[in-house]
Amino acid sequence: MLGSIYGLIAVGYTMVYGIIGMVNFAHGDIYMISAYVTAIVLAVCFAFGFNAVFLPLLIALLLAVVITALYGWVIERVAYRPLRGSGRLAPMISAIGMSLVLQNYVQISQGARSQGVPTLIDGNLTFGRGEDVIQISHTQCLIIVVAIIGMAALTLIIAKTSLGRACRATQQDMTMASILGVNVDRTIAWVFVIGAAMAAMAGVLVSLNYGTFDFYIGFVAGIKAFTAAVLGGIGSLPGAMLGGIVLGLCEALFSGLINTDYKDVFAFSILVLVLIFKPSGLLGKPEIEKV
């Protein structure tokens, strides 16, 4: 379940890097904003007397995707497009600044205290008998199913649609794609929008599972998701999901079997080892430059 969350967020990192070769460090804050949007929408729905759970959840998911997609579009227009022709350092600093702006904006508008979402989906799936019993909540099952559906839909978009062909063309050669009629600016904007939508799905599901969140969760989750993207091979969509699952499993097993306090250290140790012995990641391809 944790790996599915990391994978959904990592998709945004790997798509942006695959297209323009830059890392969107404000991506984790998009995930954070979607959690707040979920809490606000659910509170409004229940205040207006919605008794069923399915409809408020669906409304929250749709609005979170739309609102965070708009944030992704604004980030591309403000922090990246004006600096696209410059070196890599200026867009990176601009993205970090945008991340700080979003964090402080949410802190001022929503308060610094942790917010919460009540448990809406009850029940567990039980496997085994006697003392050897494993219980998985329905919310955790929902997270895994939604992550699989989201990744499958994204794969189809990239492989079968004109937008996907434009993304692949822009990734291979931005100048030649522009000469052949691809609207490069619009394609890159769509990449930011799609990445933000995937992060929004993760934010909605995490807020339902854990119940509490604050304005700082985007930083931690963003760093973990970036680790997952690098682990799987940044620029590869299957690699982002694989890296998220591997990182989530390793972190959960380390927490359960050894020590919870050092799970983050263990996760980043895996990243260091991968960068040392396989810099391109599990599914990534080494970059070949013509001399």
pLDDT at site 159: 84
Q: Which residues face 125 on adjacent strands?
A: 136
Q: What share of the chain is helix, strand, coil (3-state, %, to 5)?
A: 75, 5, 20
- What is the mean pLDDT of the segment spanning 21-41? 85
- Using a pLDDT cut of 90, give the percent of the chain over it: 1
pLDDT at site 287: 60
- What is the mean pLDDT of the segment spanning 68-75? 89
Q: Distance (Å, rounded) from C-alpha 1 to C-alpha 116?
A: 20
Give the gyration radius of the chain's Cα atoms.
Answer: 19
Rounded (5°) CA angle 146-227-175? 90
Choose the weakest-confidence range: 87-91, 198-202, 212-216.
Answer: 87-91
Token pair listed for 211: 């119940």
pTM over 0.75: yes
Q: Is the pLDDT of residue 37 over 60?
A: yes
Tell me, rounded to whole angstroms, the distance of Cα 134 from its chain centroid: 28
Q: Is the pLDDT of residue 289 over 60?
A: no
Q: Is the pLDDT of residue 53 over 80?
A: no
pLDDT at site 148: 86
pLDDT at site 285: 67
Name which of 248, 166, 167 is nearest 209 in CA terms: 248
> What would the pLDDT profile of 274-283 be if each residue is shown by its tens digit?
878 887 777 7
Q: How far is CA 90 from CA 60, 100, 171, 195, 255, in A?
A: 35, 16, 21, 21, 38
pLDDT at site 247: 87
Q: Distance (Å, rounded) from C-alpha 114 to C-alpha 96?
A: 23
- What is the mean pLDDT of the segment spanning 2-20? 84
Q: Name the more confident of 99 and 119.
A: 99
- What is the mean pLDDT of the segment spanning 225-253? 84
Token pair listed for 277: 């012995």
Q: How far is CA 50 from CA 42, 43, 45, 57, 127, in A?
A: 9, 10, 6, 11, 33
pLDDT at site 268: 78
> What would the pLDDT profile of 258-270 be if each residue is shown by its tens digit?
877 788 788 778 7
What does the DSSP assignment read for 187-246?
A: HHHHHHHHHHHHHHHHHHHHHHHH-EE-TTHHHHHHHHHHHHHHHH-TT-HHHHHHHHHH
pLDDT at site 229: 86
Handedness of CA 189, 191, 195, 200 (dihedral sign): positive
